[in-house]
Amino acid sequence: MKPDIPLEERIIFALDVDSPDEARKWLDRLGTHVRFYKVGLQLFLAGGLGLIEEISARGHKVMVDLKLFDIDKTVELAVRELAKHPVTYTTVHGPESIVRAAVAAKGNSMRILAVTVLTSFDKHDLADLGLPGVEVEQLVLSRARRAMEAGCDGVVASGLEVQRMRQQVGDGFLIVTPGIRPGSFADADGGDEQKRATTALSAIRAGADHVVVGRPIKNAADPIAIVRQLQNEIVRGLQQPV
């Protein structure tokens, strides 16, 4: 785990909204409490690279979460284009050759994160993909190891797999954890597609560097209160690592 990440950058807020105007409202609402934002496929198609430039101009970092998956050369060229913009993290998906192509094109400032297994997946989804009998954790750890060997900067993985992964990859490898729910909410039915959710406290204690949070903040009556609650969990997790 990287110890020098500022607290306001530990939470990556998922800007899963349908317009640049709505994204700007969230930038205004969260102010300086959150300094890292995720732009996924929906918002990227709505706002494009211009919105990424705007978020950066406000003093924030940006994670572009497009989960790039294509032939190696296409991924390489896409990453090369993204590297011309103020993007801190970019996600890729797929086998080692795709990861290597992305790493080769990332430039000096952008970091590549390999997606291991989506937090909306469980063993039944793996069976549907033609991987019956494969345990999720087994696949996550295997993909993390191969990503590191390919020169990747880190991975996106559920908090449920972080502890064993951190033991496997060491301290210098970035781990970004989505599917975060505040407090005990991760143990309840979250009413969404996440099947492998966990808390910020658990993820950070296990060794995650960042947590990606969307709905719990976006749907809250007091978003700043939820941010502070999550940040308190993060501080406790940093003070009490597993």
Catalytic center residues: 67
Handedness of CA 6, 12, 17, 20 (dihedral sign): positive
C-beta separation of 78 from 68 below 8 A: yes
C-beta separation of 110 from 90 below 8 A: yes
Q: At what angle do helices 41-57 and 20-30 cross, to 10 degrees?
A: 50
Q: Closest Cα partner for 37 from 178, 213, 158?
A: 213
